[in-house]
Structure 1
Amino acid sequence: MPNLFPVAGESSGTPAGSTDGTAAGQVKFGRSWRFDYELGDFVTTPTGKIAECSDAEAWLEWCKKTIRTERYTYLAYSRKYGQEYDELIPRNLSRRAVESEIVRMTTEALKTDPRTDRVGPFSFEWDGERCFFQCEATNVRGQKSRMDGSVVTS
């Protein structure tokens, strides 16, 4: 029977230092449900079941949800999950500083997942006090995807 509390370096089936729990440091992508963010509801199949996605699509769903979820708000998520864009409102930062903070917060939020390799480049567009941004996220398999977000600064 395997040890329930293995010590690093002990023969536990995973290499010492491996954080993703898979052999040889390969990251498992898994599967997820599809969500329509414009409608605010899960995507359903013609038979009425919730549509699923796997591998890179599941990772992309995780990324989209992460940049739309406020950190520390929901007890169901760990303290590492989500972003902190609302903290920008009371800080009265310049537009350049807000953009820098969006880059930092978004990168930090997305890099908590071992499937994410890189985040960036970013592009910004301002409409009054609302900053719209786009960024590119790359997973460990080299697959890239663009994501959109927005932040209100006052």
Structure 2
Amino acid sequence: MSIFPFISPEILESGQASELPMFREYAYDFENNRLLLRDGNTYLVEGNEALRIWIFKALSTERFRYTAYDSAFGSEIHTLIGSTLHSEIVTSELKRFIIEALMVNPYISELSNFQFTRTKSGIQVEFDCTTIYGAMTVEWDAKEVRAA
């Protein structure tokens, strides 16, 4: 379930051990929205660091828009941009869209403790993510999502 549709992760056949292979992703620079390079080459990271990259890309990618991804990848957060809904409805929908986007990943077991903060650019979301590798806190900016 890589963020790059042309890279196939190891797939377990039914009947094999229930252990998942190590989750890997290409190292990513969130600030500049590009792959990180080491000695001029891309490189892989593993575990929660890789899942953090997958989460960022899943939340940033519009579901159903790109034919390179299947319908399980991405989110519908973009539908909240420009809405005039009450803040409680917007945060409730934002939480629902995040859960729907991320819980398709078998490496993620729980999302909890959602906190929403209004910013100049939209709404910042912070939540706890429990994975098979342990717990981590995720911060993500829902840019241009505002509440009335």
* Range class of TM-score, shorter chain: 0.7 to 0.9
Matched to 1:14, the amino acid is: S
The answer to whether the 8 A contact 2:82-2:144 is kept is: no
In structure 2, C-alpha distance between the alignment counterparts of 1:128 and 1:49, rounded to whole Å: 36
Q: Is the 8 A contact 2:123 2:142 kept in 1?
A: yes
Shift of 1:35: 1.1
Q: Which residue of 1 aligns with 2:14?
A: 14
- Alpha-carbon offset, residue 140 of structure 1: 2.4
Mapped partners of 1:43, 1:128: distance in 2: 28
TM-score normalized with structure 2 length = 0.79
- Matched positions, count: 134
Other-structure match for 2:122: 130
The offset of 1:129, in angstroms, is: 7.5
After TM superposition, the runs of 4+ consecutive aligned structure 1 residues lying more than 3 A away are none
Structure 2 gap ranges (5+): 1-12
Equivalent position amino acid for 1:26 in 2 = E
Contact persistence 1:30–1:54 (CA under 8 A): yes
Alignment RMSD, CA only?
2.1
Higher relative contact order (CA 8 A, sep 6+): 2
CA contact (8 A) 2:128 2:135 kept: no
Counterpart residue number, 1:19: none
TM-score, structure 1 normalization: 0.76
